[in-house]
């Protein structure tokens, strides 16, 4: 199956490669190309067919449906894999919001809770909570955005270490929690639980807060099936994952994904299943049919659709 591992388009500006997106930089805008690279544990662990298109189209849907909460960076969506965005000053803080006590990565709330941490985003959790339990209220649990590895810091430490000014951090907290509440409401009406997510923000020329990157995608968010959650938790089972967590768990069980120089190849059946889930979650949440032109290779289609943004 045709997968988009990386791009090298001419005349679109300087190319910068992120974990998942290839970014072409122009004086006043960014061309964001969502590839099929799958990132977990701070590295690429697989390539998932159609993932890039699902991420980009999902974000487009959510940007449209949260614009009343906060402005966003979208200028155009000329291709299923592409967003043309305003060029802004990104904040060095990732706005993580959590609704449940779960996760497998080093920064996840469950990993830290197991290690004895009890205060998260100003909320103190009691001892004895079980994995995957619903939190008393949504927690704003931000991390830094750094080249080496993101760190979870208290709100006070974020300010003291100079990552963000206190007043802006409070605005960020309120906006992130409002976005999460909107996401949980829409997800619940479509049979899903929005478990946790992360947002990225930038500042415009006037210092205004703008939502950037992506929103409520299967990459940035964790989803569980709503109708089976209570019964599965009551019987000590894991929730019905509707996201990428099952692939993360497989890697944790078969290697040390943070330290091993070479990782095992992701099983083909899991790659196919994750592709199916990405498409299914897009269709379930948006009510739209996932449809992309597959008559030509994806890179060729993108190249054609970006013709008007060439700088030559």
What's the pLDDT tens digit per position in 88-114? Answer: 999 999 999 999 999 887 889 999 999
**58 three-class SS:** helix
73 and 98 in a single domain? The answer is no
- Asked if residue 151 has pLDDT above 80, the reply is yes
Give mean pLDDT, residues 131-140. Answer: 96
128 and 218 in a single domain? The answer is yes
Give mean pLDDT, residues 303-308. Answer: 96
Length of the chain: 312
203 and 72 in a single domain? The answer is no
Question: Residues 70, 177: contact at Cβ < 8 Å?
Answer: no
Output the DSSP codes for 77-96. EEETTEEEEE--EE-SEEEE
- Asked if residue 195 has pLDDT above 70, the reply is yes
**146 three-class SS:** coil
255-281, pLDDT tens digit by residue?
A: 999 899 999 999 999 999 999 999 999
213 and 139 in a single domain? The answer is yes
Q: What is d(CA 128, CA 88) in angstroms, rounded to the nearest whole number?
A: 43
Question: Residues 69, 208: contact at Cβ < 8 Å?
Answer: no
22 and 153 in a single domain? The answer is no
Give the rounded percent of residues in the chain with a pLDDT score beyond 70. Answer: 98
Q: What is the mean pLDDT of the chain?
A: 94
Domain assignment of residue 160, given as a range: 90-234
71 and 125 in a single domain? The answer is no
Domain presence at residue 162: yes
Reading the block at residue 285, the tokens are 């949440």
Domain presence at residue 3: no
7-62, pLDDT tens digit by residue?
A: 999 999 999 999 999 999 999 999 999 999 998 888 899 999 999 999 999 999 99
Domain boundary at 190, 212, 234, which? 234
Domain presence at residue 72: yes
CATH of the domain at 290: 3.30.200.20
pLDDT at 79: 98
61 and 163 in a single domain? The answer is no
Domain presence at residue 218: yes
- Asked if residue 148 has pLDDT above 70, the reply is no
- Name the domain count of the chain: 2
247-257, pLDDT tens digit by residue?
A: 888 999 999 99
**Strand order across the beta sheet in which 74-79 lies:** 14-17, 21-25, 29-34, 82-86, 74-79
Q: What is d(CA 249, CA 232) in angstroms, rounded to the nearest whole number?
A: 18
Q: Report CA 304 to chain centroid distance, whole Å.
A: 27
CATH of the domain at 125: 3.30.470.20
Domain presence at residue 77: yes
pLDDT at 140: 97
222 and 277 in a single domain? The answer is no
CA-based R_g, the chain, Å: 19
- Asked if residue 122 has pLDDT above 90, the reply is no
133 and 217 in a single domain? The answer is yes
- Asked if residue 242 has pLDDT above 80, the reply is no
100 and 199 in a single domain? The answer is yes
Strand partners, 51: none
- Say what the alpha-carbon torsion angle 257, 262, 264, 268 is, to the nearest 10 degrees: 100
Domain presence at residue 240: no
109 and 77 in a single domain? The answer is no
Q: 102: how many CB neighbours lie within 10 A of its CB? A: 23
**111 three-class SS:** helix
pLDDT at 146: 78
Give pTM, 2 decimals: 0.91
Domain boundary at 234, 262, 288, which? 234
228 and 299 in a single domain? The answer is no
Domain presence at residue 189: yes
**Strands (DSSP E) found in the chain:** 14-17, 21-25, 29-34, 37-40, 43-47, 74-79, 82-86, 89-90, 93-100, 119-120, 123-124, 134-140, 143-144, 192-203, 209-212, 221-225
Considering only CA atoms, which of 116, 110, 122 is closest in space to residue 153? 122
Domain presence at residue 305: yes
Considering only CA atoms, which of 168, 151, 170 is closest in space to residue 207? 168
- Asked if residue 311 has pLDDT above 80, the reply is yes
């Amino acid at each position: 199956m045709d997968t988009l591992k990386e791009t090298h388009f001419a005349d679109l500006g300087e190319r910068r490669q992120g974990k998942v997106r290839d970014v072409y930089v122009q004086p006043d805008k960014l061309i964001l190309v969502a590839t099929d690279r799958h990132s977990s544990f701070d590295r690429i662990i697989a390539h998932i067919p159609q993932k890039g298109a699902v991420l980009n189209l999902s974000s487009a849907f959510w940007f449209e449906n949260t614009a009343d909460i906060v402005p966003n960076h979208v200028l155009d969506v000329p291709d299923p894999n592409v967003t043309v965005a305003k060029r802004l000053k990104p904040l060095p803080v990732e706005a993580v919001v959590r609704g449940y006590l779960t996760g497998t990565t080093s920064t996840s709330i469950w990993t830290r809770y197991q290690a004895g941490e009890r205060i998260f985003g100003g909320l103190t959790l009691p001892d004895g909570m079980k994995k995957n339990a619903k939190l008393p209220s949504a927690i704003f649990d931000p991390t830094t955005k750094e080249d080496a590895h993101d760190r979870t810091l208290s709100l006070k430490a974020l300010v003291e270490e100079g990552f963000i000014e206190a007043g802006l951090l409070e605005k960020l907290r309120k906006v992130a929690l409002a976005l999460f509440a909107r996401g949980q409401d829409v997800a619940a009406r479509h049979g899903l639980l929005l478990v946790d997510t992360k947002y990225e923000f930038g500042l415009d020329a006037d210092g205004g807060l703008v939502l950037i990157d992506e929103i409520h995608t299967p990459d940035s968010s964790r989803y569980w099936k709503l109708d089976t959650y209570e019964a599965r938790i009551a019987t000590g089972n894991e929730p019905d994952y509707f996201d990428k967590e099952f692939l993360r768990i497989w890697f944790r069980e078969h290697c040390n994904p943070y330290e091993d120089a070479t990782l095992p190849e992701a099983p083909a059946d899991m790659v196919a299943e994750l592709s199916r889930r990405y498409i299914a979650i897009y269709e379930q949440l948006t009510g739209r049919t996932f449809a992309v032109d597959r008559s030509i290779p994806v890179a060729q289609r993108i190249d054609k659709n970006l013709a008007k943004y060439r700088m030559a």
